[in-house]
Amino acid sequence: MKHAAFLPRHALQILLDALSGEGYRVVGPRVRDGAILYEELRDVADLPAGWRDEQQPGQYRLERTDTQRSFAWAHGPQGIKPLVFRPRESLWRVHRSADGRMAFSASIPQDPPLAVIGARACDLAALELQDRHFLESIRDPSYAAHRAGLFIVAVHCTHPASTCFCVSTGDGPRAGKGFDLALSELDEGYLIEVGSERGAHIARMLPLQLSSDEQREQAEAEIAHAAALQTRQLPGTNLRDSLFANLDHPRWREVAERCLSCGNCTSVCPTCFCHAEQDLPSLDGQSAEHVRQWDSCFSEGHSTIHGIVIRAETGQRYRQWLTHKLGSWHDQYGRSGCVGCGRCITWCPVGIDLTEEARAICGPNGEGAT
């Protein structure tokens, strides 16, 4: 934060306008239906100023506070994931002519590039993981198209929820990398760090001032305070061996008593990448659209193979989720698939806590069954 510049609070609108002027469709946090969601954002007045989220396992409530700050909250159900790995998206279309010939055409997204305001450190870490999944081995054309244009304005987290544990996964609360611009919100405005050439280009359009030592110290102190506030944590750092050594642990059956296998956890998880493909033919049968949509390892269809459901039981599905998320991600992508955002805890209708389940199965330090 040594080189952060200062942007007065009233000048944030200039940032939105600059991004729009450069051709970005700007999305940012707004209050809708009792939660903070990323929606189209044109006016800083629509930011959730004075709102705070109170999160508990299975519970999310927005509360009014007396602050004028716009980012004094943790997060809503979405990360950046829905912007790049869309919940439902066409992959290709086919047209069949009267003589039976088929013509296939790829559906490559043509929408304008997005700029997202308010991304959190956990979501940047998740985006990096999704990049590796969708771009590294075999390039996913749709993801690549959305990702290429994405401009990220991160905001360092100062108000974690009770369900957050990004400190224990090493992913927050400071947004360390992967942004174009990063903001620290102070009462009087924002400290701005530049993270990319594109970010520098936009920053040059802003009425930036020199920041003071006090402002930088204040911003650092707030991030440090956010880290200190977190009480939840995952045991250990690499739970793979201990999870795979406990595939018969009775806890899988116990959690299955509570788990609804509804897929809310995987849907809000910013790193979960599973999706199902489906054909949507026109009624006349001449053409069809081949789409993909978010799927979940908690669904029956996820493991169905010619009529056999490999994971018919909830306990097996929960085990698949946890052994993958906290275990085999290490083999696949060199780190845990969990970035500590805690969304799976908050948005689980029955409040199942992944950190608690991991502790029950792996022991308090990840050393194995207790």
Give the residue with the Cβ less far from another protein, 191 or 344: 344
Among 3, 102, 188, 204, binds another protein (CB under 8 A): 102
Sign of CA dihedral 330, 334, 339, 344: negative
Is there a contact between 189 and 11 (Cβ–Cβ < 8 Å)?
yes
Q: CB nearer to another protein: give 96 or 198.
A: 96
Interface with another protein (CB under 8 A), residue from 293, 364, 365, 370: 293
8-state DSSP, 288: E
Q: Which of 302, 325, 335, 359 lies at the binding interface for another protein (CB under 8 A)?
A: 302
Binding-site member from 145, 196, 233, 273 for another protein (CB under 8 A): 273
Our finding on whether 224 is near another protein (CB under 8 A) is no
50-69 residues in contact with another protein (CB under 8 A) are 58-62
Contact 294, 84 (CB under 8 A): no
Q: Indicate whether 103 belongs to the interface with another protein (CB under 8 A).
A: yes
Residue 339: name the closest of 320, 318, 355, 351 by CA.
355
**Nearer residue to another protein within complex by CB, 92 or 227:** 92
Which residue among 14, 37, 145, 208 contacts another protein (CB under 8 A)?
37
Going by their DSSP bridges, the two strands 181-186 and 151-155 should be labelled as parallel
How many residues sit close enough to another protein to count as binding (CB under 8 A)?
Answer: 94
274 binds another protein (CB under 8 A): yes
Q: Under the criterion CB under 8 A, does residue 238 sit at the interface with another protein?
A: no
Contact 150, 134 (CB under 8 A): no
**CA-CA distance, 183 to 154, in Å (whole number)?**
6
| From 310, 364, 367, 370, residue interacting with another protein (rule: CB under 8 A) | 310
Q: Please tell me whether residue 301 binds another protein under the rule CB under 8 A.
A: yes
CB of 90 to another protein, least distance (A): 10
Using CB under 8 A, which residues numbered 111 to 170 contact another protein?
A: 133-134, 137-141
Looking at the Cβ atoms of 197 and 257, the one nearer to another protein is 257
**Residues 39-44: contacts with CB under 8 Å, at least 24 apart:** 41/16, 41/117, 42/16, 43/13, 43/16, 44/12, 44/13, 44/16, 44/70
Q: Do 352 and 260 contact (CB within 8 A), yes or no?
A: no
